Amino acid sequence: MKKVWNYLRSMRFGILLLVLIGLCAVVGSLIPQGRELSWYVENYPSFHPTLFFLQLYDVFKSWYFLALTGLLCLNLTLCSLVRIRSVVRGGRELRPRAALLPDEVKLTSVGVKKLEEHLLATGCRKNEQGSARVYSKRLVGRYGSFLTHLAILLTVIFGAAGLSLPQVTDRDCLPGESVRLPDGAEFAVRSFRSTDESGKLDYASELTIVLPDGRSRSGEISVNHPMSLGPYKVYQQTYGTAGSVTVTNLENGGSDDFLLPEPAFLTLDNYNGLWVLAVYPDYYLTPDGVITPTGSADGDYPNPVYLLQRSEDGVQTQEAAFPGTVLEVGGLSYRFNAPERYPGLRIKYTPAIINTLLFASFALMIAGLYITFFLQPVLVKVDDEGYAVGGPKPEGMRLELKELLGGYERGE
């Protein structure tokens, strides 16, 4: 049992856990997370059974990732919190133990005086220990390792909270429209494009975020380049294609443009009008000249065609229309335009306190590392005969004092 306990608190076990957690993070970066299961069946036709079995579609909430995180917390707790008592006790015993060190260098009385003046001038604190005086500084360095382990533990805990607590909302949003959440936060899409200036695929949205407290931010989001404001982070998640129809009232000339991601009935009197059922990427003609809509293997819309249902004087008829076609039904003119693409946004809300605690953990980690490497404790025991240098890394102080007091040493 003792061997198991020692292994759980060992550095080797902690490094192993970090490697395994790192592998999970790599998988979570390579495989899109949180999609519909049908998406994985379509995009990973031969691998999806294994993907589902190992829960690689939501790896950060899988049982094994949570277990690894829990074991890492246990390891860090055993390495830090459990040892704090011995660290504090060892800190209290530093000066008494330093006072027992035998003199390394014998000095004249003038040399002893010069040494003590130098130690006080360099910020050392004097502590009487019997007939000896112990000068010390940077004793906080004793706690550097503890603070570093504690910071890593807090980072893991708050990082896990950051992965599990966020509320994720997926919404489609047409250009020129906005998504409004229950708390009043609004996300407006000004425009959307699917290619960059060179014609290369690059799905991106011009977005404006307005928070309930009035803060706002505008900019572009694209795949792997989200936008953050306050507790919100918005991702370019997916895209869709909507039909575009310009409808004009033949009586008064008024017109409006409609983007139709779903079937819609465009009418003036609720009886006569057009059902826009769908827009398809391509079509083919049957031998008898019938237009038959089809899909597109690459997701592009090379020859878009609208599938319609005309409702006029109680008669329902199906027909097709191409971009540029103009139809008149029930006092309205319908002009069919080229389809437009629109973005699917993933809006992630993370409680602000989580980010604050994470930043605090990072700051504590930096402080712990700085203390560990740059604030090593220094102890110098001085008596009437000479001095000795203590501490975990005494070489630097030995050289400094050797150079300072070389002319005041006395032989045996």
Least Cα distance to 388 among 95, 90, 123, 99 occurs for 99
The predicted pLDDT at position 342 comes to: 93
Q: What is the pLDDT of residues 7-50, one digit of tens each?
A: 877 878 888 998 998 898 898 888 888 777 877 887 888 888 88
Residue 325 clears pLDDT 90, i.e. is over it: yes
Amino acid at site 288 = D
Q: What is the pLDDT of residues 356-387, one digit of tens each?
A: 899 999 999 999 999 988 998 989 999 999 99
For residues 98 and 379, the answer to whether their CB atoms sit within 8 Å is yes
Say what the alpha-carbon torsion angle 210, 212, 213, 215 is, to the nearest 10 degrees: -10
Q: Under CATH, which number does the domain 85-138+376-406 receive? A: 3.30.310.10
Q: How far is CA 184 from CA 66, 217, 313, 316, in A?
A: 33, 15, 45, 43
Domain residues of the chain, as ranges? Answer: 2-64, 85-138+376-406, 167-240+345-356, 243-341
State the chain's mean pLDDT as an integer: 88
Residue keyed to tokens 């599938």: 307
The predicted pLDDT at position 38 comes to: 77
Q: What is the pLDDT of residues 232-289, one digit of tens each?
A: 999 998 888 999 999 999 999 999 999 999 999 999 999 999 999 999 999 888 888 7
The strand order across the sheet containing 264-267 reads: 264-267, 273-280, 305-312, 315-321
Residue keyed to tokens 């000795």: 388
72: buried, middle or exposed (CB in 10 Å: 19+, 13-18, 0-12)?
A: buried
When mean pLDDT is compared across 163-167, 304-308, 340-344, the lowest value belongs to: 163-167
Count CB atoms within 10 A of the CB of residue 247.
Answer: 18
Q: What is the 3-state secondary structure (H, E, C) of the chain?
A: CHHHHHHHCCHHHHHHHHHHHHHHHHHHHHCCCCCCHHHHHHHCCCCHHHHHHCCHHHHHHCHHHHHHHHHHHHHHHHHCHHHHHHHHHHHHCHHHHHHCCCCCEEECHHHHHHHHHHHHHCCCEEEEECCEEEEEECHHHHHHHHHHHHHHHHHHHHHHHHHHCCEEEEEECCCCCEEECCCCCEEEEEEEEEECCCCCEEEEEEEEEECCCCCEEEEEEECCECEEECCEEEEEEEEEEEEEEEEEECCCCCEEEEEECCCEEEECCCCCEEEEEEEECEEEECCCCCEEEECCCCCCCCCCEEEEEEEECCEEEEEEECCCCEEEECCEEEEEEEEEEEEEEEEEECCHHHHHHHHHHHHHHHHHHHHHHHCCCEEEEECCCEEEEECCCCHHHHHHHHHHHHHHECCC
The predicted pLDDT at position 315 comes to: 92
Instruction: Enter the tokens of residue 217.
Output: 């931010």
Stated pTM of the model: 0.60
Q: How confident is the model at residue 412 (pLDDT cuts 50, 70, 90)?
A: low
For residues 119 and 387, the answer to whether their CB atoms sit within 8 Å is no
For 387, residues 6+ apart whose C-beta sits below 8 A from its C-beta are 103, 104, 105, 107, 112, 115, 380, 381, 401
Q: How confident is the model at residue 143 (pLDDT cuts 50, 70, 90)?
A: confident
Residue 345 clears pLDDT 60, i.e. is over it: yes
Mean pLDDT of 217-232: 92
Q: What is the pLDDT of residues 55-95, one digit of tens each?
A: 988 888 889 988 998 888 888 888 776 667 777 776 778 88
Instruction: Enter the tokens of residue 275.
Output: 């059902």
The predicted pLDDT at position 298 comes to: 63
pLDDT: which is higher, 121 or 2: 121
The predicted pLDDT at position 238 comes to: 86
Q: How confident is the model at residue 297 (pLDDT cuts 50, 70, 90)?
A: low
Residue 205 clears pLDDT 70, i.e. is over it: yes
For the chain, the distance separating the N- and C-terminal CA atoms, rounded to the nearest angstrom, is: 54
pLDDT: which is higher, 340 or 79: 340
Share of the chain above pLDDT 90, in %: 49
pLDDT: which is higher, 236 or 296: 236
For residues 222 and 238, the answer to whether their CB atoms sit within 8 Å is no
The predicted pLDDT at position 182 comes to: 92
Residue 294 clears pLDDT 70, i.e. is over it: yes
The predicted pLDDT at position 188 comes to: 96
Q: What is the pLDDT of residues 79-89, one digit of tens each?
A: 776 667 777 77
Q: How confident is the model at residue 320 (pLDDT cuts 50, 70, 90)?
A: very high
Mean pLDDT of 218-235: 92
